Amino acid sequence: MYFRRPEPAANGLQVAPAKRVATPVMMKQAGFEVPEEYCFHPGHTWVVDEGRQNARVGIDAFAGNLLGKIDSIEIADLNRWVRQGQPLATVTRDGRSVDVLCPVEGVLVSVNHEVLKNPNLAIDDPYRNGWLCAIKAPELATNIKNLLQGPIVVPWMQNSLARVAAMVQQLTPALAQDGGLPVKGLLFQVDADVQQKLVNEFFLT
């Protein structure tokens, strides 16, 4: 099975204990808060460079809002080589699952044990304690060039909001809202066909 809930591995690698993560400096612009120094994949995951080719990875607040609440999260196996833009984790709610993509390429060296125990940390605190995993990324500098960063992030988030609002207005008018974020948990409040369209558009899977 490609994904599983990681446990201590036979090769000696361990699930990461709770890690003290520094509170990121948040950039506020046009009603958005995004963390400085973080880089974003178009599939709404993020990565922050922690030095020495170490990268910490999570899902962003836009994705968290679409998901709303999840029952479980499964992350790729420890010591597995993961590729940029390929599935990294699967989130599940009420038997319906969504894959999220890896923003960088490298070896998965640890996972956030607290998120495995309480998956909604990834939704409620996406940029700090809700991180998913750590990756040893030898080509991190090159990978980051393919990601969204700096002043482009807020306009991209705004564009994502506009696109989801337009799609919901067209596909599920009853769930449309005037301005602001879409209904929290929207992804699991629509039928399977609409859900797949939203997943294709925003999670790129």
Q: HEC profile for the chain?
A: CCEECCCCCCCCCCCECCCCCCCCCEEEECCEEEECCCEECCCCEEEEECCCCEEEEEECHHHHHHHCCCCEEEEECCCCEECCCCEEEEEEECCEEEEEECCCCEEEEEEEHHHHHCCCHHHHCCCCCCCCEEEECCCHHHHHCCCECHHHHHHHHHHHHHHHHHHHHHHCHHHCCCCCCCCCCHHHCCCHHHHHHHHHHHHCC
Residue 181 has what pLDDT? 54
Is 3 inside any structural domain? no
User: Do 80 and 107 share a domain, yes or no?
Assistant: yes
User: Do 109 and 179 share a domain, yes or no?
Assistant: no
Closest CA to 60 of 172, 157, 152: 157
Is 13 inside any structural domain? no
User: Do 122 and 192 share a domain, yes or no?
Assistant: no
User: Do 140 and 160 share a domain, yes or no?
Assistant: no
User: Do 192 and 105 share a domain, yes or no?
Assistant: no
**Which tokens in the block code for residue 133?**
């995993």
**Which tokens in the block code for residue 162?**
């506009």
Residue 176 has what pLDDT? 63
Is 8 inside any structural domain? no
Cβ atoms of 44 and 156 closer than 8 Å:
no
Is 11 inside any structural domain? no
CA 70, CA 155: separation in Å to the nearest integer? 27
pLDDT in tens, the chain (205 residues): 344 444 444 333 444 444 456 778 887 765 667 898 999 999 999 999 999 999 999 999 999 999 999 999 999 999 999 999 999 999 999 999 999 999 999 999 999 999 999 999 999 999 999 999 999 999 999 999 999 999 999 999 999 989 998 888 888 777 665 555 567 899 998 889 999 999 999 999 9
Closest CA to 203 of 82, 88, 119, 110: 88
User: Do 91 and 182 share a domain, yes or no?
Assistant: no
User: Do 49 and 94 share a domain, yes or no?
Assistant: yes
User: Do 138 and 180 share a domain, yes or no?
Assistant: no
User: Do 137 and 37 share a domain, yes or no?
Assistant: yes
- pTM of the entire predicted model: 0.85
User: Do 135 and 188 share a domain, yes or no?
Assistant: no
User: Do 170 and 118 share a domain, yes or no?
Assistant: no
Residue 177 has what pLDDT? 59
- Kindly give the pairing relationship between strand 72-76 and strand 87-93: antiparallel
User: Do 108 and 170 share a domain, yes or no?
Assistant: no
Which domain, by its residues, includes 36?
19-148
Is 132 inside any structural domain? yes
CATH of the domain at 101: 2.40.50.100
CA 194, CA 169: separation in Å to the nearest integer? 12
In total, how many domains does the chain have?
A: 2
Cβ atoms of 57 and 88 closer than 8 Å:
yes
Is 163 inside any structural domain? yes
Is 45 inside any structural domain? yes
Is 166 inside any structural domain? yes
* Domain's final residue, options 105, 123, 148: 148
